[in-house]
Amino acid sequence: MARIVPGVRRMYILLVIHLLWTLCALVVVTRQQRAPAAAATWIALIFLVPVGGTLLYILAGYRRATPAAGTPGHCGGRLETLIASSCGTPPARHNEVTLLHNGNNAFSALIASLQRATHTIHMEYYIIRDDRIGRTIAEILIRKARAGLEVRVIYDAVGSWRLSRRMLRRMREAGVRTAAYEPIRFPWFRPAVTRRNHRKIVVTDGRVAYLGGINIAKYYLDGDYMGKWRDEHLRIEGDAVADLQRLFIADWARASAERLDASLYIAPHDIRRRLPIQLAWSEEGRCRAAIADAFAATIIRARRAVRICTPYFMPPGMLLDALRLAARSGVRVVVMIPTCSDSPFTDLVSDSYIGDLLDAGVELYRYENGFLHAKLLIVDDRVASVGTANLDYRSLRYNLEVTAFLYDRETVGELAATFDRDLTLCRRIPPGQWGQPLWRRTLGDVLRLVSPVM
């Protein structure tokens, strides 16, 4: 009987280990990744590059169930019920909303609210920069903390990597309580480090709240190499403030391990205007697809028109199908994206969707007056969403996000009018005339294959 050469035996052993490793990965990945394309991509990556693929999956793909911030029961319309039952709240009925279309308006209103605060200031941002606007707001927080107010700030450790230790030290010495969301500590990486806190929330005195796409950075005022930044933000007074306050307190407990009694930070108000606002948020756990589900349900219910603007367009299949179905059903679907973004990777992948949209009858526009950073969905002039979530996998499947659904026709009409004004600053991509160099189209299609896991 021929003896097996030791080198061949080692090869067989490694092959068996490889196959067993891939089989274990198949069990774990298919239980967690319910989208076939994402699961197949991860399994193929682990099969081809076992060590590197496994480490990448642990960092970027593995999901650990975590409790939601709290979801009250609700009975109402189907969209309202969907949002409340996934991760959200019932509609808050009585509110006043101020639309803040750009950085100048948003920072002016925010600074005024911070200066008027008398008891508490709670802030949560993906990006806080140590620049002109960041230092201005930090000085206000320092003065308020020294005056005896409770000031708490959550910042994302990756998004706010340019926030200097000196600024943090000055705030902490003044009594500002700060918490970094998921700091990266080499070499003790955890799966959660790739899931960032992309929310932007401010609540002052439990009475006034801010929500939208604008971070704390001067390029929202001055622009940058892409030009002026176009964005949307909301100033809210009324019932919805309590919902945002509770969400901040849940995030504070997650980032700092300090648990606060929400009832101590929610103030009464005298707003009587009926302007329903419903919050939806997404985070790790059962509600990771809450915002994506709400977007798809809103689009499918459209009867006349869907307007969307987003800086990054890499939608999960469910959303792409919803847009195509709406367009083919006779609904006017208008999608506005930037001419270029701050991510060449995103531009390539976004371009790979253009042909799909045009073939379905979607009107596609490129914004040419700077960088479009607004995250806006408007359906039939009766419901609109303004928040932090982009139409991409990372935002809708992994990050902590929050968006406000507005059910007031007057407010939605104002947002629609602003959208239509922005269209005059756009260039439409004509149907049937979309063409790219072969290398760019091929590279975009290849990168699109891995977009579900990025």
- What CA–CA distance (Å, rounded) separates 40 from 34? 10
Question: Is 200 annotated as catalytic?
Answer: yes
Residue of 101, 373, 392, 422 marked active site: 373
Output the CA torsion 134→112→415→96 (10° steps).
140
Task: For strands 177-181 and 150-156, give the pairing.
Answer: parallel
Q: Which residues contact 399 (CB under 8 A, 6 or more apart)?
A: 195, 196, 197, 198, 282, 389
Looking at residue 379, the DSSP 8-state letter turns out to be E
**Residue 144 is a catalytic residue:** no
Which residues does 350 contact at the CB level (< 8 Å), separation at least 6? 312, 313, 314, 337, 341
| 198 is known as an active-site residue | yes
User: Are the beta carbons of 181 and 211 closer than 8 angstroms?
Assistant: no
**Catalytic hit among 239, 351, 380, 408:** 380
Verify whether residue 347 is a known catalytic residue.
Answer: no
Question: What pairs with residue 281 in β-bridges?
Answer: 402
Q: Any idea what the Cα angle at residue 329 is, between residues 328 and 335, rounded to 5°?
A: 60
**Residue in 101, 122, 144, 200 annotated catalytic:** 200
Which residue in 198, 231, 233, 293 is the catalytic one? 198
Nearest to 281 by CA among 271, 293, 272: 293
Catalytic residue among 156, 375, 392, 408: 375
205 is catalytic: yes
CA atoms 38, 40, 46, 52: torsion sign: negative
Known catalytic residue at 218: no
The answer to whether residues 408 and 278 touch, using CB atoms and an 8 Å cutoff, is no
Active site (catalytic) residues: 198, 200, 205, 373, 375, 380
